[in-house]
Amino acid sequence: MCDLLSREHLEGYVVGTLDEVDAAALEAHVMECASCETKLQREAALELAFTRVAAHVEHTSRPTRVRRIHVALPMVAGAALTMAAAFLLWIVPHADSDAASRAPAAEEPAPQMVESNADASTFTASLDLQADGSRLGVRD
Amino acid sequence: MATLPLAIRPIAGVPSANEPKADLAERALRGDQAAWNALVSRHNQRVVVALLGRGLSLEKAKDIAQEAWMRLLEQQRAGKLRELKLPALAITQATFLSLDAARKDGRTLALAEGYDCADPQPLPLSRLIGEEQLARAESILAKCSPSARQVFGLVYGGGGLSHADVAERVGLSVQRVRQIVCEVRKELREAFDEEDRHV
């Protein structure tokens, strides 16, 4: 086993940090020394393995971004439903007051007004938005 | 084996080698010989190392790397080259050529994820890196500093960035980038060597 080339030399060659003169000297030796050529191939294989590792790490870090989207979607949906509920809460009393102002109280049957209010209160009570926005449930 | 015309032989220290990569690639795509020189000078070493890592001898690796550059230049001249992502394109070209050469020589290659062994004496690390090794490497990287992880990702990612490119991007000196690469490399190598001893 030849020990002429140190691991640092071989590593420097594959990583590309050896200067031109040292790299040429290393190549000249490796061309004639099977043992050092095998060591150089091993260093180069390690370099390829690192490329694979980098690709793997990049790949496994991607789902994090996807998970963020998954978390964000219920938040957006929750916000939209909250706005819709707020809109309904706002419009129902206004609709009631409009109707009340337009029609004489005697002609408009009171039970219908009570029924509308009952619907609205039922709807608002059914919203179940959690604080972290990660889940939105609707109860009957 | 055909050799590159003198004009596009890899020449270290070509002034234009420091030009921005995108500019060089664009000029090379337009047929600029000096741009080709600079690109070969900048990336040839990585192509040779990629072939060495697949078990080729240094002599064969250098020959095939030259042939790969020749093919790319021919494709550019024939108007078949629309983009020039280096060194990835040159490495792919060289890998195909090495497989072709091995087939002609009657050697059997086990090509999986780019890890084939053209050498009759397989090297432990030239086999396909397994899931366990990947997981171990991932846990080692997780213990590294964020800047070390970033440097590792940029150096070994598919961008083909030089240490100088990486240094500029992360705001560190080239010397520091090289130091980080060596440190992370050492950690990972020890982990892989440990597993090789158990295989």
Does the distance separating the beta carbons of A49 and B125 come in below 8 Å? Answer: yes
What are the pLDDT digits (tens) for B139-179? 899 999 999 999 999 999 877 788 998 999 999 999 999 99
Cα–Cα distance for residue pair A3/A5, rounded to 1 Å: 6
Does the distance separating the beta carbons of A16 and B123 come in below 8 Å? Answer: no
A and B: number of Cβ contacts within 8 A: 109
What are the pLDDT digits (tens) for A106-135? 444 544 444 444 444 444 444 444 445 444
Q: ipTM score of the complex?
A: 0.78
What are the pLDDT digits (tens) for A60-99? 776 555 555 565 667 778 888 888 888 888 877 666 555 5
Tokens 């060194």 -> residue: B87
Does the distance separating the beta carbons of A50 and B50 come in below 8 Å? Answer: no
Q: Please give the pLDDT value at position B2.
A: 45
Cα–Cα distance for residue pair B116/B104, rounded to 1 Å: 16
Is residue B73 within 8 A of residue B5, CB to CB? The reply is: no
In terms of CA atoms, which chain B residue is nearest residue A50?
B156
Q: Name the stretches of chain B with pLDDT < 50.
A: 1-17, 110-126
Q: Please give the pLDDT value at position A32.
A: 94
The answer on pLDDT for A138 being more than 80 is no
Q: Which residues of A touch B (CB under 8 A)?
A: 11, 13-17, 20, 23, 27, 30-31, 37-38, 40-42, 44-58, 60
Within 10 angstroms of residue B39's Cβ, the number of other Cβ atoms is 28
Distance between B79 CA and the closest CA of chain A, angstroms: 31
- Cis upstream peptide for B87 (omega within 30°): yes
Cα–Cα distance for residue pair B109/B134, rounded to 1 Å: 23
Residue B102's closest CA among B116, B90, B115, B91?
B116
Mean pLDDT (chain A) is: 72
Cα–Cα distance for residue pair B32/B123, rounded to 1 Å: 40
Tokens 């015309």 -> residue: B5
